[in-house]
Amino acid sequence: MSDNVLVLAEHIGGQLSESSYELLGKAKELAAAWGGKAEVALFGPSDLVSQVEGADVVVSMDHPALADYTCEGYETALLSVLAERAPRLVLLSNATVGLDLGAALSVLWDAPLAAYVGDLRAEGDTPVATCQVMGGKVMAEVELAGERGICTVLAGAFPAAAGQAPAVSQEVVTAAAPDELEKLRMSLARVIEPEGGDVNITDAELLVSVGRGIDSQDNLELVQELADALGAPLSASRPVIDSGWLPKTRQVGKSGLKVKPKAYLAFGISGAPEHLEGMRDAELIIACNTDENAPIFDVAHYGSAEDLFDLVPALVDKIKE
């Protein structure tokens, strides 16, 4: 075992994801505390190495089977890197790739896994993770005792800037691709882009967003009126989209879009981690939820526990005055 912390870099369309930098920043902090190095495993085209200036060590593996993410390909590649590097801790995103890989790695690499991690610190030699449980209503502090561990970390948990800052010196290691990559049973067939033609909520400076608290499609008219009065598009949490009340292009969150408006108004949204992932970077968050303990209030700058069916018409009246 080493004192190093290894991050799996994620990329799409030749661009490293923001979350990779967030993980790398935390990896540098923990590795410094343990006297180790911050390492990045980078699978796919080796020219992406130039985007990872912040790592002390980049382990690059370039193989046609790793051009696109598949669980089978990345699992094979990562296990071979872990056997070679033996880091103290592995950091993955708590998103599609990390959730997919984390549990499999935990079994195959024989290491404890902390998922939905919102905070992470070193206590002596031990990583201590704060994890969201039950959609963020309860937090659990977890010690990853032993020689190695894995964390899947929520998007936005740590700033990206530290991961983007160049390392004092950098070593680039070219890892040999394991033979198993020639025999994969899984490959990416195609990427299905969301339908276009609707408003782009990621461009909006102001968003009025609605959740299951709206109760029915007919009631959407109420929040649409507020959105129109403010000149803002209407966005929503996943249940509203899954019910077919608004198009998929309006969904905020993990399996929807990440938005960063100047102001985000949330009505009847509980604040599940998958929703927060898409909107917690908004400059100003104002939430209305009848449940005072709803997790949305943990990220909101202003909040109201009024019934949205009272508050929204009152706001519309005020704006029209």
Ligand X SMILES: Cc1cc2nc3c(=O)[nH]c(=O)nc-3n(C[C@H](O)[C@H](O)[C@H](O)COP(=O)(O)OP(=O)(O)OC[C@H]3O[C@@H](n4cnc5c(N)ncnc54)[C@H](O)[C@@H]3O)c2cc1C
Binding-site residues, in ranges, read 212, 237-238, 251-255, 268-275, 289
- The annotation places the binding site for FAD at 212, 237-238, 251-255, 268-275, 289
CA of residue 234 relative to chain centroid, distance: 23
Closer CB to ligand X, 70 or 255, in the complex:
255
What residues are paired with 284 via a beta bridge?
Answer: 263
Closer CB to ligand X, 121 or 258, in the complex:
258
Encode 57-83 in three state secondary structure.
Answer: EEEEECCHHHCCCCHHHHHHHHHHHHH
| Residue nearest ligand X (C-beta atom) | 253
We find the least distance from the C-beta atom of residue 48 to ligand X, in angstroms, to be 26
Interface residues toward ligand X, by CB under 6 A: 135, 211-213, 237-239, 251-256, 268-270, 272, 274-275, 278, 288-291, 294, 307-309
Question: Which residue carries 């985000």 as its tokens?
Answer: 264
Give dist(CA 256, CA 243) in Å, integer. Answer: 15
We find the least distance from the C-beta atom of residue 152 to ligand X, in angstroms, to be 12
Q: Of the candidates 273, 280, 232, which has an alpha carbon nearest to the alpha carbon of residue 255?
A: 273
Closer CB to ligand X, 87 or 239, in the complex:
239
We find the least distance from the C-beta atom of residue 281 to ligand X, in angstroms, to be 15
We find the least distance from the C-beta atom of residue 273 to ligand X, in angstroms, to be 7
CA of residue 296 relative to chain centroid, distance: 17
Closer CB to ligand X, 98 or 239, in the complex:
239
Give dist(CA 6, CA 52) in Å, integer. Answer: 13
